Amino acid sequence: MTLFSEASASRQRAHLARLQDAYTHLLDEHGFDAVAIYSGHARNQYADDQQASFAGYGHFIHWTGTATHQHDWLLIRPGHSPHWCYFAPADFWHLSTPAPVGVFADFMTLTPHETTGSLPAPVASNGRLAVIGDVASLALPEGATANPEALCHALDELRLFKDAHERYCLFVANQIALEGHRAARTSFAAGGAELDAQLAYLAATRQRESELPYQNIVGINSHAGTLHYQHYDKYAPDKPRSLLVDAGHRYLGYCADITRTWSASETDPLFTYLTEGVTDFQRRLIARLAPGVDFVTLHDEMHQHLGELLVASGIVNTSVEAAIESGLTRAFCPHGLGHSLGVQVHDVAGRQRDASGAPLPPPARDPALRLTRTLETDMVVTIEPGLYVIPMLLEPFRHGSQSSTVDWTAVDRLADHGGIRIEDNVMITYNGHDNLTQGEA
């Protein structure tokens, strides 16, 4: 074993020990003797025998590091090693699931099981049993409690804080995703279409689409203005102006979520100026990250920066305060500054006050903000400001009483560039932060 893998194994063991301790404490607090965690399963498409791609339940990934296992169960009981019943039916249509191996598997008792629809024998009948996951269609033992809300909120809270193993996984996922971003950029620079950039990304990161933590967003020109643009054009436009790539990777279950925006031969200099401006204030927002910083306040600071950039560029000719007050900056960027990141790309617990699950909703003006908490050490968040030309959001301003406060000729020049987003993944440390998205894309 190399020094590197020795360190990695010891981080994994510490992660599992941390979960074992935390679950022991939480099961006692919430009145359960055991919790059975279901990995989930893919569903058939309607009137078909084919299935969409699948990603497992977050709490199962938290323990096992795998997002691909279906029909698996994990039983956690204080004082016992976790019991992982992995689904391995006798099946000549598919390759049999091999027994899990590695540090996680060594830490657990492993049992193969062959049936779906109910809990396998080693997991069922364990006193006051909580069963969590996508179990609505399954037969549960009598007396078991499905998805008890208070316990689930507390387990979500546990996921918000990342230990050394988790932070390392997020860092590695970022390193690999950056390789993909470089390949996508090179493909675009060579005249490639959206599909070429996507395929270059997948090849460079050695993954198939079904393994991605979310569907990559690869938008050229006006498509960059659709926040979750979901297609891949097969042909490049005659006039390439911009490329926005929001693309990730999973490493041992943990997700990278990185966005970069690139100019091209036909780019309007105003778009390049704005891209540099967003990149600059994204760095300034990252520089603010530290324990005790309120994320809603930081989101408001994004709008302050955005307003300043819109005014400095001449697109908006009113005061920054007026642009924010009227909702104009939110028409240029309707999404939140960022979210928690972990085994899910939009990770849990971002909108609860604490382990009690008391809601912490976003302000009415920012319904899409997924993180409303005060930052604490060991959280990992994305910082992803944007600036887009989204006609349906800008039209009310174009035709409203404040129409003269916007240079619509400039907006129209930008429209075929779609938009800009710059997104990094950042860990909060006891005295500041550490950017996990290290290196050029």
Contacting Mn ion within 80-139 (CB under 5 A):
none
> Cα angle vertex 129, ends 128, 133, to 5°?
155
Choice from 166, 366, 384, 424 touching ligand GLY (CB under 6 A) = 384
Rounded least distance, CB 33 to ligand GLY, Å: 38
Q: Are 387 and 420 in contact (CB under 8 A)?
A: yes
Q: Which stretch binds Mn ion (CB under 5 A): 94-102, 234-242, 257-265, 305-313?
A: 257-265
Q: Of 133 and 342, which CB lies nearer to ligand GLY in the complex structure?
A: 342
Q: What is the DSSP letter of 108?
A: S
Please give the size of the binding site for Mn ion, defined by CB under 5 A.
5
Q: Which helix (H) or strand (E) holds 419?
A: strand 419-421
Size of the site for ligand GLY (CB under 6 A): 6
| Residues 77, 78, 83: CA angle, nearest 5 degrees | 35
Q: Which residues contact 256 (CB under 8 A, 6 or more apart)?
A: 170, 173, 174, 176, 177, 213, 248, 249, 250, 425, 436, 437
Binding mask 232-271 for ligand GLY (x = CB under 6 A): --------------x----------x--------------
Q: Would you count residue 226 as binding ligand GLY (CB under 6 A)?
A: no
CB of 339 to Mn ion, least distance (A): 6
Residue with smaller CB distance to Mn ion, 25 or 231: 231
Phi and psi torsions of 81, nearest 5°: -70, 150
Which of 72, 166, 194, 423 touches ligand GLY (CB under 6 A)?
Answer: 423
- Could you say whether residue 257 binds Mn ion (CB under 5 A)? yes
**53-90 burial: b if 16+ Cβ within 10 Å, else e:** eebbbbbbbbbbbbbbbbbbbbbbbeeeebbbbbbbee
List the one residue out of 310, 333, 304 whose CA is nearest residue 421. 333
Indicate the SS3 state at residue 194. helix
Nearer to Mn ion, 64 or 344 (CB): 344
Contact between 72 and Mn ion by CB under 5 A: the answer reads no
Buried b (16+ CB within 10 A) or exposed e, 126-146: beebbbbbebeebebeeebbe
Q: Which is nearer to ligand GLY, 8 or 174 (CB)?
A: 174
Residues 406-425 interacting with Mn ion (rule: CB under 5 A): 423
Binding mask 345-384 for Mn ion (x = CB under 5 A): -------------------------------------x--
User: What's the Rg (C-alpha) of the chain?
Assistant: 24
Residues in touch with ligand GLY (CB under 6 A): 214, 246, 257, 345, 384, 423
Residues in touch with Mn ion (CB under 5 A): 246, 257, 259, 382, 423
